[in-house]
C-alpha cells in the first residue's frame, strides 16, 4: 500500500484539461463555441465539471488546452476560474494553440496538444511527477485523487479510467480488455463492432478519456510520437495502444472514484458524453426530475462556475387565464415567466411571455418566448427570440424544414435559423 504521502499526491501532479474540440455532432450548437463551453444544467458550462473535479480532488495546478473558437471558453475561465491562489502555487493556466513548435502546425491531435506545451509544463515548480489528462467535454463527478493513488500502487506508466457501456453505444469510444491484475491487454479506438466484456456479452469496457501518466514516461512517448510521420498524434489512436502493447497501461474502474453523495437515492455512477443533440437534451431534461440522475445539490462536492449577478427568477400575473407557472422545471436567475413552463430547463435571463407554453424544452441564456408561442421537445440556443404565435415541436415536417430536427424528435433552434425565417 502507498503510505501517508498519498495525501500529497495531487500536489505532485499537474492536471491538463483538453478543451479544444468542436463537438461536431452538436451541429449548430457549437458553431460559435467549443463543446466544453456549451451551457449545461441551467447555469454551468460543460468544462466546469472537469475543473470542479480537479479542485474538489485537491488538484490545484491546472492547465486548459484550447483551440477551436475558444473566445467564449476563455472568457468564461477568466471570469469564473480566477479564484485559485497563485501565492500558494494554485492556478488555472490557459494554453491556447500558439504554433509553439513551428509556424505551420496548430494542435494536430490530442497528444500533439500536450506535446506542444511540454516546455511550459517543465517550467512548473515543483516539477510534476504525474500528468493527469482530462477531456473537458464530459459531465460527471469523480475524485481524481483516488485514481492517482490507484495509478501509483499499480506501478503502471499510465492508467486509464474506464466505464461499462452497452455494446450498441460503444462504437464512439475506445474499448479495452483487462486481465485479472487490472492491466489492459487490448485497446481498440472507436471500433465498428465493439468487443464485449468477458462474461457480459451486452456490455463493453470503454475509456472515459481520463488518463494518468508518469510525467517522464509521457514526455518521452510524446517525443517519440511527434517524430513518427504515420502517427495521428492522438492519445486514443497512438499513445494508449502503444502503452497497451508494451503492457504498461492499467485500468481504473470509474466505480472506485465516482463521487456519490451519501443521501443519493439512485446511487448511479453518472457519466455522460452529451455529444449529440439528443443526448444533450436528455441530460438537461433529466435534471428537472424529482430525483435526477445527477445530483447537483451535494455541498460536499460543489460544481464551481461563473455566474452573472442577477435577481431571482420571477413568476408574474395571477388571473384565471394569465398566470406564470413552472411545474417540474428548473428556472435560473434573472428569468421572468408569465406563461406556462412544464418539465423544462431555463437558463438565466429567459423570458416566457403570457399565454405561451414551453414543454420538455431547454432554453439557453437570454432566450425570449413570445406571446402565445408553443415549444415542445426543443433546444433553443442562447439569445434567441421566438416570435409571438410560433409553434415548434408539433409538426415534424415543418420543424425539419425550418430548424434542425434530430432522429429522436428534438428541434434545435438558433438565431440564424430564426433570421432566415424572417
Beta carbons of 236 and 110 less than 8 angstroms apart: yes
Q: Does 414 map to a domain?
A: yes
Q: Is the pLDDT of residue 174 over 50?
A: yes
Question: Which of 95-109, 259-273, 339-353 bottoms out in mean pLDDT, i.e. has the lowest?
Answer: 95-109
224 and 373 housed in the same domain: no
The reply to whether 2 falls in a domain is no
The CA angle 196-201-207, to the nearest 5 degrees, is 35
Which structural domain range is residue 232 located in?
Answer: 7-279
Decide which of 256, 279, 302 is a domain's last residue: 279
Please state the pTM of the whole predicted model: 0.94
342-357 mean pLDDT: 98
Q: Per residue in 99-131, pLDDT tens?
A: 555 555 667 788 999 999 999 999 999 999 999
Backbone angles phi, psi at 221, to 5 degrees: -65, -35
Q: Is residue 238 part of a domain?
A: yes
Identify whether 306 is part of a domain.
no
At 263, the pLDDT band (50, 70, 90 cuts) reads confident
27 and 149 share one domain: yes
Domain identity same for 271 and 322: no
Q: In the predicted model, is pLDDT for residue 90 greater than 60?
A: yes
Q: Which of 5-19, 52-66, 129-143, 408-422 has the lowest mean pLDDT?
A: 5-19
Domain count, the chain: 2
Asked if residue 289 is part of any domain, the answer here is: no
Task: Find all residues with CB under 8 Å of 262, minimum gap 6, and list them.
Answer: none
The answer as to whether 287 is a domain residue is no
205, part of any domain = yes
The upper half-sphere exposure of residue 206, i.e. CA atoms within 13 Å in the direction of its Cβ, equals 23
Q: According to the model, what pLDDT value does residue 394 have? A: 96
Strands 322-323 and 385-386, by their bridges, are unpaired
**96 belongs to a structural domain:** yes
Residue 116 CA to residue 62 CA, distance in Å, equals: 16
In this structure, are 275 and 386 located in the same domain?
A: no
Please tell me whether residues 53 and 112 are part of one structural domain: yes
Examine the fold and report which residue of 279, 294, 322 is the final residue of a domain before the chain moves on.
279
In this structure, are residues 121 and 128 in contact, taking their beta carbons and an 8 Å threshold? yes
Q: Are 92 and 175 in contact (CB under 8 A)?
A: no
Cell of 273: 458524453
Alpha-carbon distance 215 to 14, whole Å?
A: 9
Over residues 231-252, the mean pLDDT reads 95
Per-residue pLDDT tens over the stretch 282-340: 999 999 999 999 999 999 999 999 989 999 999 999 998 899 999 999 999 999 999 99
Q: Rounded CA gap, 420 and 422, in Å? A: 5
Whether 236 and 91 map to the same domain: the answer is: yes
Residues 23 and 83 in one domain: yes
pLDDT at 399 over 50: yes
Of the candidates 56, 39, 51, the one whose C-alpha atom is nearest the C-alpha of residue 15 is 51
How would you classify the pairing of strands 318-319 and 322-323?
A: antiparallel
Closest CA to 358 of 379, 374, 382, 370: 374
Give yes or no: residues 264 and 324 share one domain.
no
Percentage of residues of the chain with pLDDT beyond 70: 96
What cell was used for 406? 434530430
The CA–CA distances, whole Å, from 354 to 250, 312, 315, 337, 372 equal 57, 19, 11, 8, 7
Helix (H) or strand (E) holding 330: strand 330-331
CATH number of 397's domain: 2.160.10.10
Amino acid at each position: 500500500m502507498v503510505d501517508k504521502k498519498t495525501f500529497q499526491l495531487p500536489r505532485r501532479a499537474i492536471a491538463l484539461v483538453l478543451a479544444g474540440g468542436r463537438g461536431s455532432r452538436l451541429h449548430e450548437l457549437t458553431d460559435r463555441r467549443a463543446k466544453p463551453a456549451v451551457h449545461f444544467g441551467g447555469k454551468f458550462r460543460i468544462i466546469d465539471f472537469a475543473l470542479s473535479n480537479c479542485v474538489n480532488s485537491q488538484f490545484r495546478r491546472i492547465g486548459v488546452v484550447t483551440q477551436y473558437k475558444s473566445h467564449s471558453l476563455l472568457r468564461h475561465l477568466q471570469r469564473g476560474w480566477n479564484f485559485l491562489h497563485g501565492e500558494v502555487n494554485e492556478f488555472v493556466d490557459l494554453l491556447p494553440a500558439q504554433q509553439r513548435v513551428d509556424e505551420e502546425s496548430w494542435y494536430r491531435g490530442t497528444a500533439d496538444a500536450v506535446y506542444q506545451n511540454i516546455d511550459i509544463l517543465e517550467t512548473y515548480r515543483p516539477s510534476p511527477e504525474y500528468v493527469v489528462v482530462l477531456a473537458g467535454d464530459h459531465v460527471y463527478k469523480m475524485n481524481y485523487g483516488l485514481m492517482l493513488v490507484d495509478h501509483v500502487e499499480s506501478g503502471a506508466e499510465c492508467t486509464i479510467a474506464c466505464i461499462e457501456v452497452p455494446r450498441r453505444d460503444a462504437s464512439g469510444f475506445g474499448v479495452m480488455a483487462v486481465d485479472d491484475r487490472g492491466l489492459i491487454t487490448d485497446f481498440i479506438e472507436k471500433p465498428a463492432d465493439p468487443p464485449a466484456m468477458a462474461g457480459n456479452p451486452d456490455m463493453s469496457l470503454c475509456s472515459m478519456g481520463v488518463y494518468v501518466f508518469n510525467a517522464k514516461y509521457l514526455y518521452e512517448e510524446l517525443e517519440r510520437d511527434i517524430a513518427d510521420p504515420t502517427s495521428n498524434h492522438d492519445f486514443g489512436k497512438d499513445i494508449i495502444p502503444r502503452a497497451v502493447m508494451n503492457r504498461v497501461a492499467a485500468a481504473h474502474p470509474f466505480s472506485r472514484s465516482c463521487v456519490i453523495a451519501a443521501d443519493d437515492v439512485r446511487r448511479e455512477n453518472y457519466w455522460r458524453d452529451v455529444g449529440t443533440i439528443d443526448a444533450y437534451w436528455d441530460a438537461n431534461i433529466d435534471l428537472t426530475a424529482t430525483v435526477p440522475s445527477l445530483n447537483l445539490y451535494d455541498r460536499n462536492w460543489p460544481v464551481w462556475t461563473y455566474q452573472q449577478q442577477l435577481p431571482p427568477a420571477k413568476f408574474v400575473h395571477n388571473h384565471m387565464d394569465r398566470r406564470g407557472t413552472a411545474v417540474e422545471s428548473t428556472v435560473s436567475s434573472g428569468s421572468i415567466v408569465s406563461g406556462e413552463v412544464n418539465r423544462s430547463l431555463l437558463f438565466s435571463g429567459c423570458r416566457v411571455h403570457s399565454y405561451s407554453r414551453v414543454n420538455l424544452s431547454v432554453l439557453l441564456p437570454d432566450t425570449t418566448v413570445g406571446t402565445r408561442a408553443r415549444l415542445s421537445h426543443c433546444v433553443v440556443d442562447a439569445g434567441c427570440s421566438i416570435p409571438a404565435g410560433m409553434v415548434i415541436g408539433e409538426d415534424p415536417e415543418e420543424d425539419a424544414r425550418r430548424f434542425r430536427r434530430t432522429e429522436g424528435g428534438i428541434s434545435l433552434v438558433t438565431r440564424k435559423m430564426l433570421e432566415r425565417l424572417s
